[in-house]
Amino acid sequence: MLLREKTIVVTGASSGIGAAAAKMFSAQGAKLVLGARREDRLKQIADEIVQIGGRVEILAGDVGRDAYASCLVDLAEDRFGGLDAAFNNAGIIGEMGPIAEMSEDNWQSVIQTNLTSGFHAAKHQIPALKRRGGGSIVFTSTFVGHTVGLPGMAAYAASKAGLIGMTQVLAVEHGIDKIRVNALLPGGTKTEMAGDDPGAHEWISGLHALKRMAEPEEIAKAAMFLLSDQSAFVTGSAMIVDGGNSINKT
């Protein structure tokens, strides 16, 4: 069991990659604190985990708020005695369109949810990991804005690319504390964010060398590797799990 007795915070846990990760991490022995906006969906995920003998707490809220990031860490320490790792996975695409036509409200919303949330998370998770003697943090970034530019996605790309820069600095700052920090860069994945239009899925699949989209569980496995001791010498990386999207030209 790769995550036996590790206490892990997972955000964006109500669906998609986060929900898949929560179930997978629990099956591998983790104690979980799950966060997302939708409390009803969090309860459903938690119920599934409890039914198979898992240990889980939930807290609904907005990852863009500092107080919420603090409360997630407090819950991990209060209920499970400490924090060993975090999968900061919550994110939004926002309204797509060219910068010249984009509202500032949309820009700020995407940056707040995707990038500022990472600042809040690290601010509270790192002291908790220090109290634990070390640990691992993973941020969900993307290939968009890192290896590929997609029209209409400037706010999303900027926010997720910012996470990679922050990841690298945090890794350097806290390696001495035995804290590893990595970014996970998924390719197109079958989640609510990707919608359910078969035509769109076919187009997205064609961008990848594997000519298909990822299942959420495939991305969750990569996150589990980065959170587990199997990646003990991996830090500061931008780990591409994109089905060959970044190198595909056909």
Distances in Å between the alpha carbon of 37 and those of 11, 68, 104, 136, 177? 9, 11, 23, 24, 32
Residue with tokens 């496995």: 221
Region of 145 please: left (phi>0), alpha (psi -120 to 50) or beta.
left
**What would the two tokens of residue 18 be?**
């986060």
Of residues 29, 27, 28, 32, the one with CA closest to residue 7: 32
Residue 57 phi/psi, 5° resolution? -125, 150
Distances in Å between the alpha carbon of 177 and those of 86, 133, 136, 142, 173? 16, 7, 11, 27, 8
Count helices and strands (H / E) in the chain.
8, 7
Which residue is catalytic, options 156, 179, 214, 223? Answer: 156
Q: What is the DSSP letter of 214?
A: B
As a whole number of angstroms, the distance between CA 182 and CA 58 comes to 24
As a whole number of angstroms, the distance between CA 127 and CA 209 comes to 41
Nearest 5 degrees, angle CA 14-CA 19-CA 24?
A: 155
Is residue 68 annotated as part of the catalytic site, yes or no?
no
Supply the residues annotated as catalytic. 156
